[in-house]
Amino acid sequence: MQLTLFNLSWEQRRKLTGLLFVMPTVAFVTIFFIIPLLMTIFMSFHDWPLFGERAFAGLENYQELSKDRQYLKSLDFTFRYTALVTPPIFILGFILASLVRHNIRYIGIFRTIFFLPVVIGLGVSSLLWVWMLDDRIGVFNKILLDLNLVPKAQLFLGRPNTAMNVIILSVVWKTVGFTMILLLAGLQAIPDELYESAEVDGAGYFRKLIYITLPLMRRFIALALILSVIGSVLSFDQFYIMTRGGPRNSTISIVFWIFNNSFTYFKMGYGAAMSIVLLGILVALTGLQLYVLRERE
């Protein structure tokens, strides 16, 4: 009897201790995540300037969204950018992963080099690229002119199409190493025997790719694609730094437009309404991610 009582109180002490251990984390997440999340919803129903009176606005902010041409343009731009930047990241990532797959000599050095740009901030890499792309002192124009590939210096960031292309180039450089590592993990999880027996059956490179490699690493492929898509939908730094949203407001992403409305025009309620839409898109994407990753287990 005494023993069980002692056990019980010990159990309870353990419970309390456990709760105390996770308390700081729970407090942080509540204050800096749960409350702001609820507040975003709340603010989206209000006219909320930084200073001055805020007023209940009902669905006005959401109604304004459908009339905001720049918002629709930004949605369109963000999805177009995502659709254009994802394939090159994935394909180059796959090629790199295939190249560094086997543990041949010095291969670690190459893996490290391809991964290096990932640990550089996107903001800083954008500052590096905007300078390399400059029409006057940029190295790309210098090389192109020296090789007689262009008649005169190109304003890469000055026209919507080329701006999109060169920003994609810079982002591929900055992020492809991440995709490479994910796909490398997928490739290395495939047993060599499968390839060997396929070779005995006379399968060539493409048959092995289609019947062995791709199906067996589909979880890694899905993960790499979804993480890359999420990152692109949330992009901001490269547009803010490299093009400032130009030329003619053609490179303003969703996050950029939220930023402008909330922190330049201080229409925070309106920004909150846009954030809710963004949130919906991302929860859907993450839900898709969880679904795809769960499948095999």
Partner 1 sequence: MTAPVNLAQTERSQQEIRRLRRRALLALRYLILIVLALLFLFPIAWSFVNSIKLPAEALAVPPTYLPTEISLQNYEELTTYGKIGIAQHVYNSTVVALITVAGSIVLSTLGGYGFARFNFPGKNVLFIMVLSTLMIPFQSILIPLFVMIVQVDLHDTLFGLALVYITFQLPFGIFLMRNSFLAVPHEIEESALLDGCGSLSILYRLMLRLVLPGIVTVAIYAFINSWNEFLAALIFMSDQDKFTLPVFLTTIRYGIWGDVNWGALQAGVIVSIIPSLAIFLALQRYYMDGLMGGAVKN
Q: Identify the burial level of 283 via C-beta atoms within 10 angstroms of its C-beta, where 0-12 means exposed, 13-18 middle and 19 or more buried.
A: exposed
Give 121 or 215: the residue with its C-beta nearer to partner 1: 121
Residue 154: CB minimum distance to partner 1, A = 13
Residue 152: CB minimum distance to partner 1, A = 12
Give the residue, chosen from 14, 76, 91, 158, that forms a contact with partner 1 under the rule CB under 8 A: 14
By CB under 8 A, how many residues form the interface with partner 1? 88
> Which residues make Cβ contacts (< 8 Å) with residue 181, sequence separation at least 6?
97, 111, 115
> Using CA atoms, how far apart are residues 226 and 289, in angstroms rounded to an integer?
6
Map the footprint of partner 1 across residues 97-156, applying CB under 8 A.
Answer: 99-100, 104, 109-110, 112-114, 116-117, 119-125, 127-132, 134, 136-139, 141-142, 145
Residue 26: CB minimum distance to partner 1, A = 6
Query: In 3-state terms, what secondary structure has residue 47?
Result: strand
Q: Cβ(212)–Cβ(198) under 8 Å? A: yes
Give the residue, chosen from 65, 198, 216, 241, that forms a contact with partner 1 under the rule CB under 8 A: 241
> Using CA atoms, how far apart are residues 82 and 76, in angstroms rounded to an integer?
10
When asked if residue 163 is in the footprint of partner 1 (CB under 8 A), the reply is: no
Give the residue, chosen from 164, 182, 217, 221, that forms a contact with partner 1 under the rule CB under 8 A: 182
Token look-up 């930004």 returns: 74
Q: Cβ(275)–Cβ(259) under 8 Å? A: no
When asked if residue 225 is in the footprint of partner 1 (CB under 8 A), the reply is: no
Query: In 3-state terms, what secondary structure has residue 56?
Result: strand
Binding mask 41-80 for partner 1 (x = CB under 8 A): --x------x------------------------------
Q: Cβ(135)–Cβ(154) under 8 Å? A: yes
When asked if residue 227 is in the footprint of partner 1 (CB under 8 A), the reply is: yes
Map the footprint of partner 1 across residues 258-287, applying CB under 8 A.
Answer: 258-259, 262-263, 268, 271-272, 275-276, 278-279, 282-283, 286-287
Amino acid in the structure at residue 46 = H
Q: Cβ(232)–Cβ(89) under 8 Å? A: no
